[in-house]
Chain A
Amino acid sequence: MVGTRGRVEVSGLTWRPFGRREPVLRGVDLTLEPGERVLLVGPSGSGKSTLLRALTGLLGSVEAGELGGAVTLDGAAPGSRPGAVGLVLQEPGAGVVAATVGRDVAFGLENTGVERSAMPGRVAAALRAVELGDLPLDTPTSALSGGQTQRLALAGTLALDPALILLDEPTAMLDPGCAAEVREAVAALTADKGPDAARTLVVVEHVLGPWLELVDRLVVLSSDGEVVADGPVHDVLAERREELLAMGLWVPGAPAPEPLAVDATLLDPAHLDPTRSTMAAAPFSVERTTRRLDGTTRTERAAALDDALDARPGTLTALVGPSGAGKSTLLSALAGFLTSTPADAVRVGADPGSADPASLDARTLAGAVAWVPQWASSTMVARTVLDEVLVTARALGRDDTAEVPRARALLGALGLSHLERADPRELSGGEQRRLAVAAALHHGPPVLLADEPTVGQDRHTWAAVVGLVAAYRRAGGAVVAATHDAAVVARAEVVHQVTAPTRPAALPPARSPLVARCGPLALLTGALLGIPAGVLSPHWSTSLAVLTVQVVLAVVGLSAPGAGAPPAGRLRTVALRTAPGLLAALSVGWSTWWLAGHDVDAALTVSLRVLVIVVPSAVLVPWVDPDRLGDHLAQRLGLPDRPVVAVAAALQRVHTFGAVWSEIGRARRVRGLGVSARHPATVLAHVSALTMGLLVRTLRAAAELAVAMDARGFATAQRRSWWAPAPWRARDTLLVALAALPLVAAVTVR
């Protein structure tokens, strides 16, 4: 099994990020033979991910620090051949670059300037290797499950034929079914052991069991960032078992950890009434309307609760089912963030006097329900750990003198006392998870809604979260949890099986309007031509003539000749986009009338000018496809490749930014931080918190993606090739010529 490539040598590797006193990695020496399969483990914070980044040659590319020692791959620096090292990140989607599957896999090929004609074959081969060969190449990357997304990332690295593959907790955020798919794909890759095809594999994981058959060797890092054990996997496992358990690792065969003993009186039972039902829901469904970047909307059933739910004091109700079945959506509806169908299906509070959670103001809602989302880090609302715990109690107007000691005791029970004054966003993932549950429960809400409270956690955090929830139930709290964790399900009194609602079959493609058949540059040019047409209209009579030409052109452009169903919502789209322009026209006209001596002529002139400028945008811009825009900006206009690719990647994630924005808003609402138009300070606090939260998440995403893109040769992509062509066709010329007609009218009619 000796291969010819993929030999890794690490000698004396030390890394200390600036701003930390102690190195994260300390004198690491490691030699990996070609084709060797290694499992790398260690306690949380031991520098495993950092070591992987060092093996890609990207250490220091997004974080500044002091680096010592050397890393080589087959005798050269690891980054010297683009794509020689493939990297798959923990969070599914963190490394997704493009809007479609084919294009995403081709990203590395584009960066290395591979001819377009050679791409489809290599892309298809890479997708087959990860068992995604059946997916059409134009499948949207956003439509993939978590497991498929991780396999897509793997395919993206395979396209560049890596000698070394690095997997950074690739299944930590997946449900068991998806995790198994990913492992099968990895097994298929490494089983192929021809001397030339051999690839060295390094996997970081803290659930060891499922990987044992896939690896030969186990390397253990200590919390100080030193290699403390290294050898054949079963030998190390046998010799170091106790040490590995103490690190919080899930060692096969070991019993589940003992839940942490937490004193139930810390959870404020004074506010809990253990005799009354606290949340009840009749069967309901949730319809989700997604608004796409082009302004069109689509409504489909996102989730359904088939049986009535009654969260009684002291009980645990588990929502189980495969990923994508809608468990998180149901929890959001139970918290009143989403509207249920029928409305009013969900009631919180003791009966009588129960209410629809969606109708409650923030403080009342916070007193009735607590919610812990799956990504706890994005929903921290305070500046220090202690304040985070106290947020809701303070919002409810409770006196600090009683609350602070209890908050401190709670932090102490969870081993977070030493972090009391730290910024919650600086905590590790496990610490954040413990803090999030503590902060949700501290004020004694009668119901806790928890989304995957134990997923991806090490044994220590698992024990803390399970222990805390048990104490809350003893105090009289009711818990509803979406979970895949068999040990959590086993603790539940009631289990609801959630199945994905059947989605209506995709409608056959409708005929597209004439304008939609044109390229993005022609559409943008057409929209921009409205500006000189408006600016050059000296009088409202000219503008009226220009506007008439524009309306005629709009009717022609939006017509959709041909066979098939007519496209829906054209008029609505244009009307929605013209409405703000009408508002602007009115306000500009009014201010001019007011300031220019009540001159109706002048007011009409500027009003119509606004319409002349805005109408072409309302008609044309909805049909600009952001992905194709990138192709055209780079290939047609010759704009620099790397910024264009970055903007295209950002554009195809814009909808996730919108989701982050609303998630932070929900987290604040359920913690009792409401917004009231009567109190401008609350509006200001809300807007700044949302903006800040959005920016922090965005910057983290950019840093993650930068690593993933550089691992696929983006840093050195000076002369890229492109997966998709960017043709300029006769119809584009025609569109621009027609869009220039109003401008011609403006100049000649005057």
Chain B
Amino acid sequence: MATSTTEAPTRHSITATRPLLGWRTVDILTIAFLGAAFGVAFWGWGIFYNGPITALKIGYAPLMGLFTGPWLLAGVVGGLVVRRPGAALFCEVVAALVSMLPGTEWGATVLVSGIAQGLGAEIAFALLGYRFFGVGAAALAGVLSTPLEWLFETVKFPASWSGPPVLGILADGGGWYAEWGIGDKLAYLATMAVSGVVLAGILGWLLTRALARAGALSAFPPGQELRESHAV
């Protein structure tokens, strides 16, 4: 087969085989295994992670948002590797499930966080029509992984809701950081977003490329992109 080398490189990424929803067995298993491996890695990182985070909580707590990126990697990498609708969400949820079973400091909420984060990354890939998977797309997926999670952690239902019959039960309830001032909450969103772009998006893109170079993605579009860039 003659591989065309005269064409200028297109801006489109190589997409998954059609139909996009036709998940192959290797797609499903790869996402499940990647998610489980990230779940295991989450524990491992926890050892290294607890130090700086605890220090920041004693100082200015919203800065800990800078360290949230790694927990968003599963969704970004899952989406970048398999490139099918649902891959990012599936991967992040499996990672959350695996890290939840042996026990984490956040209990069953990691499952909710997994959905919130994975959904964000999924929205990013969907906005791009599952056609673009470059570093920009990865950064978008990383940054969009954060707002829902931020909302979940900082939501505060107003006390004024105590009047209406249904909303009443929500009044004054909220997430972990419900009692922070709005300025601190927004600072937290900003640090999360930065971390999402750098530690989830760009790092996830680099990780995917490194996996392709290690020959681990030959069945997937990133492996194919690597081969085409090397084709002589």
A interface with B by C-beta (< 8 Å) = 16-19, 61-64, 66, 291, 293-295, 423, 425-426, 524, 527-528, 530-531, 535-539, 576-577, 580-581, 583-584, 587-588, 590-592, 594-596, 599, 602-603, 605-606, 609-610, 613-618, 621-622, 624, 626, 642-643, 646-647, 649-651, 653-654, 657-658, 661, 683, 687, 690-692, 694-696, 698-703, 705-706, 709-710, 714-715, 747, 750
B177 proximal to A (CB < 8 A): yes
Q: Which residues of A sit under 8 angstroms from B226, Cβ to Cβ?
A: 19
Q: A583 to B39, Cβ gap below 8 A?
A: no
CB <8 Å contact, A531 and B112:
yes
Given A595-B180, A651-B36, answer yes or no on A577-B103 (Cβ-Cβ < 8 Å).
yes
Distance of B151 from chain A, by nearest CB (Å): 12
The verdict on A703 contacting B61 (CB below 8 Å), with A657-B36, A694-B37, A715-B25 known, is: no
Task: Say yes or no: is B127 at the interface (Cβ < 8 Å to chain A).
Answer: no
Contact pattern, B 202-217, Cβ under 8 Å of A = 1, otherwise 0: 0000010011011111
The interface residues of chain A lying within 8 Å CB-to-CB of B101 are 293-294, 621, 624, 626, 651
Residues of B within 8 A of A291 (CB): 102
Interface status of B40 (Cβ within 8 A of chain A): yes
A595-B62, A617-B108, A647-B35 given; 9 more Cβ-contact pairs under 8 Å:
A538-B172, A580-B104, A584-B176, A596-B180, A602-B179, A621-B103, A647-B97, A715-B24, A750-B171
| Residue interface bits B20-46, CB-to-A below 8 A is 1, else 0 | 000111101111111111011100110
In contact, B109 and A709 (Cβ under 8 angstroms): no
Q: Is the CB of A531 within 8 A of B25?
A: no
Expressed in whole angstroms, the Cα–Cα distance for A647 and B29 within the complex equals 8
Whole-angstrom CA separation of A747 from B104 in the bound complex: 27
Give the most central of B23, B173, B174, B177: most A CB within 10 Å. Answer: B173
Contact A643 B32 (CB under 8 A): yes
- Is A595 touching B41 in the complex (CB atoms < 8 A)? no
CA distance A211 to B231 in the complex (A): 42
Looking at chain A's contact residues, the main secondary structure is helix
Closest B-chain residue to A581, C-beta based? B105
Question: Once bound together, how far apart are the Cα atoms of A587 and B215, in whole Å?
Answer: 43
Q: How far is the CA of A705 from the CA of B179 in the complex (A)?
A: 48
Asked if residues A62 and B219 are in contact (CB atoms below 8 Å), the reply is yes
Which residue of B25, B57, B216 contacts A706 across the interface (Cβ within 8 Å)? B25
Q: Is B186 an interface residue (CB 8 A)?
A: no
User: Are A588 and B100 within 8 A (Cβ)?
Assistant: no
Closest to A617 in B: B107
Nearest A residue to B28 by beta-carbon distance?
Answer: A646
Q: List B contacts of A701 (CB < 8 A).
A: 33
The count of A-to-B residue pairs whose CB atoms sit within 8 angstroms is 240
Q: Is the CB of A696 within 8 A of B211?
A: yes
Q: Which residue of chain B has its CB nearest to the CB of A606?
A: B179
19 intermolecular pairs with C-beta atoms under 8 Å apart: A19-B218, A61-B26, A62-B26, A294-B101, A423-B213, A527-B107, A538-B171, A539-B172, A588-B176, A595-B179, A609-B178, A613-B106, A621-B108, A650-B94, A691-B41, A699-B211, A699-B216, A702-B30, A750-B169
The residue of chain B having its C-beta at the shortest distance from the C-beta of A665 within the complex is B44
Question: Which residues of B lie under 8 Å from residue A295 when comparing CB positions?
Answer: 102-103
Closest to B111 in A: A528
Q: Is the CB of A698 within 8 A of B34?
A: yes
In the complex, are the beta carbons of A66 and B219 less than 8 A apart? no
Given B35, B57, B107, B211, which contacts A591 in the complex, CB threshold below 8 Å?
B57
Closest to A620 in B: B108
For residue A616, which residues in chain B have a CB less than 8 angstroms away from its CB? Answer: 107-108
Tally of contact residues, B, Cβ under 8 A: 74
Q: Are B176 and A609 in contact (CB under 8 A)?
A: yes
Q: Is the interface of B mostly helix, strand, loop or mixed?
A: helix
What residues of B have a CB within 8 angstroms of the CB of A591 in the complex? 57, 61, 177, 180
Q: Are B44 and A661 in contact (CB under 8 A)?
A: yes
Contact B40 A596 (CB under 8 A): no
Known contacts A592-B180, A651-B36, A694-B41; is-contact A538 B108 (Cβ 8 Å)? no
- CA–CA, A687 to B42, complex, Å? 11
From B35, B155, B230, contact of A19 by CB (8 A): B230
**B108/A524 in contact, CB under 8 A:** yes
Q: Which of B174-232 contact A (CB under 8 A)?
A: 174-181, 184, 207, 210-211, 213-219, 223-224, 226-227, 230-231
| B58: A residues at CB distance < 8 A | 590
Give the residues in chain A near B177, CB-CB below 8 Å: 588, 591-592, 606
Looking at the assembled complex, report how far the CB atom of A631 sits from the nearest CB atom of chain B, in whole angstroms: 15
* B217 x A61 contact (CB < 8 A): no
In the complex, what residues of B have CB within 8 A of residue A61's CB? 24-26, 219
Docked pose: A328 CA to B144 CA in angstroms: 46
- Contact present for B176 and A695 (CB under 8 Å): no
Complex Cα gap A587–B59 (Å)? 11
Residues of A within 8 A of B24 (CB): 61, 706, 715
Are A698 and B180 in contact (CB-based, < 8 A)?
no
Within 8 A of A (CB), among B35-86: 35-37, 39-41, 44-45, 48, 54, 57-58, 61-62
Q: Is the CB of B108 within 8 A of A703?
A: no
Task: Please list the 6 inter-chain residue pairs (A to B) with the smallest Cβ-Cβ separation, ordered nearest first.
Answer: A617-B107, A538-B172, A580-B105, A591-B61, A646-B32, A577-B103
CA–CA, A647 and B78, complex, Å: 14
Residues of chain B with a CB closer than 8 A to A592's CB: 177, 179-180
User: Are A687 and B44 touching (Cβ within 8 A)?
Assistant: yes
- A747 and B169 form a contact (CB under 8 A): yes
* Docked CA distance A592–B58 (Å): 11
Task: State which of A581, A590, A603, A702 has its C-beta within 8 Å of the C-beta of B26.
Answer: A702
Chain B residues whose C-beta falls within 8 Å of the C-beta of A646 in the assembled complex: 28-29, 31-33
Interface centre among A530, A531, A583, A702 (most CB of B within 10 A): A702
The verdict on A650 contacting B35 (CB below 8 Å), with A580-B103, A661-B44 known, is yes
Find the B residue at minimum CB distance from A605: B179
B1 at the A interface (CB under 8 A):
yes
Chain B residues lying within 8 Å of A614, measured Cβ to Cβ, are: 105-107, 109
B211–A695 CB distance below 8 A: yes
Give the CA-CA distance A724 to B5 in the complex, in Å: 54
* Contact A687:B33 (CB < 8 A) given known A531-B108, A538-B173, A616-B107: no
